[in-house]
Amino acid sequence: MSDIDSRSPQTPPGSASLPAVPATPSTSGGGRPSVIQLVFREKGALYAAYVPLFSDGGLFVPTTRDYQLGDDIYLLLSLPGDPQRYPVAGKVGWITPPNTSGGRTQGVGVRFPSDEKTRMLKVRIEEILGTSISSSKPTQTI
């Protein structure tokens, strides 16, 4: 059973989950941002996706869709043990292309915006991760 689901809100439950199936964002055309639902069920999956190097925090989102640096992505984020869904209007901060060495998953790093609500989300993620945030275990991030 997967510990993260990554899917667009229109995708039926269970049809796209990580790490086996990449995210399928929905688009509305006209340059509007992608909307990706990202559900972390376990702390280990959140650790593997969290990007503490971005000053305001960020997450790795597995996807086969082509993005450019700076593209807008809207995340609907669910954290382990937390019933609340967090909306995040982020931007692509790095791209992991297909067939990257080291077996890295194709996807994008989404930079959180610099606002008070997102700073509180970063604090919440770091509370969940606790001391594991300083672990040397490999992740999907930079």
Q: Would the pLDDT of 12 be above 70?
A: no
Burial of 122 (0-12, 13-18, 19+ CB in 10 A): middle
CA–CA gap between residue 44 and residue 82 (Å, rounded):
15
Could you read off the pLDDT of 57-115 as tens digits, one per residue? 999 999 999 999 999 999 999 999 999 999 999 999 989 888 887 778 899 999 999 99
Q: What is the pTM of this model?
A: 0.71
More confident residue, 31 or 58: 58
DSSP annotation of 33: P
Over residues 48-52, mean pLDDT: 88
Contact indicator for 18, 4 with CB cutoff of 8 Å: yes
| Residue 55: pLDDT band with limits 50, 70, 90 | confident
pLDDT reading at 125 higher than 50: yes
Element (H, E) at 118: helix 116-129
Residue 115 neighbours by CB distance under 10 Å = 12
Architecture per CATH, domain 4-132, reads as Beta Barrel (2.40)
Whether residue 58 contacts residue 93, with contact meaning beta carbons closer than 8 Å, is answered with yes
Q: In what order do the strands lie in the sheet with 107-111?
A: 17-18, 4-7, 34-40, 72-78, 85-96, 107-111, 58-62
Average pLDDT over residues 118-128: 92
SS3 label, residue 36: strand
CB 35 within 8 A of CB 74: yes
pLDDT band at 52 (very low <50, low <70, confident <90, very high): confident
Q: How confident is the model at residue 121 (pLDDT cuts 50, 70, 90)?
A: very high
